[in-house]
Copies of this chain bind each other. A is one copy, B any other.
Amino acid sequence: MLYVVHCGTFKSFVMSLNGLIQVTGFQIAGDIVGLDGISTGLHQTDVVALEDTEVFVLPFLQCQQWSRESAYGQRHLMRTLAHEITRNRRHMLALGTTRAEQRMAIFLLDLSQRHERLGHSRFQLVLQMTRKDLGSYLGLTLETVSRQLSRLQRECIIQVQGKSLALLDFAALRRLAGVSSDCSSMTVDSIVDQKGNFLVAKRPT
């Protein structure tokens, strides 16, 4: 099953056998839940609603049929999957190369942008997730999350009041995030070498 979020917020997370949990994303209206199980029927990701929610249910079978019958449907499905992959890549980049403050800034900008795309304010939003969930998503402890938020508030970049949040200084946030927050505009193409060395050594004829 796929689930298309109609309203509300979800968190999705993976769990390892030894009980470790990593939140892999937060889904709001328009997002799709359950992509990872699309072929096997088995989900490796769990999902929990963070507030009252509504979803549309989309059975895999129907999805596959749609994809087979219409070029548009196929294209759309693959685009969605590919988008999920690049989204995850960007998050990995954040987890692997940035510090707590920068990660937080990237997250806030991303959330704001998604809110805006839904027709809501980009300044005023609600953090439905707990600090712990947010920490897990960002690869930080809940204390570090709390401290970062406090710090951003002290510097008058945001204003936090429990779960409600106001973004006061986008310029500062973007500066902290590095330009990297909008790397979605990247269109680097295909198999290219950094230094002009060999790329694809040979192609079998």
Minimum distance in angstroms from A51 CB to a CB of chain B: 8
Interface string of A48-83 (1 = CB under 8 A from B): 110011111100000010011001001100110111
CA distance A53 to B83 in the complex (A): 28
Interface of A is mostly: mixed
Which candidate, A11-19, A119-127, A145-153, A156-164, is the interface stretch facing chain B? A11-19
Cβ contact within 8 Å between A186 and B17? yes
Cβ contact within 8 Å between A81 and B85? yes
**What band does the interface of chain A fall in when counting residues whose beta carbon is under 8 Å from B?**
35 or more
Cβ contact within 8 Å between B93 and A92? no
Q: A24-61: which have CB < 8 Å to B?
A: 24, 33-40, 42-49, 52-57
Given A20-B178, A22-B92, 9 more A-B residue pairs with CB atoms under 8 Å apart are: A1-B190, A3-B200, A14-B90, A18-B179, A35-B85, A44-B188, A48-B199, A67-B68, A67-B74
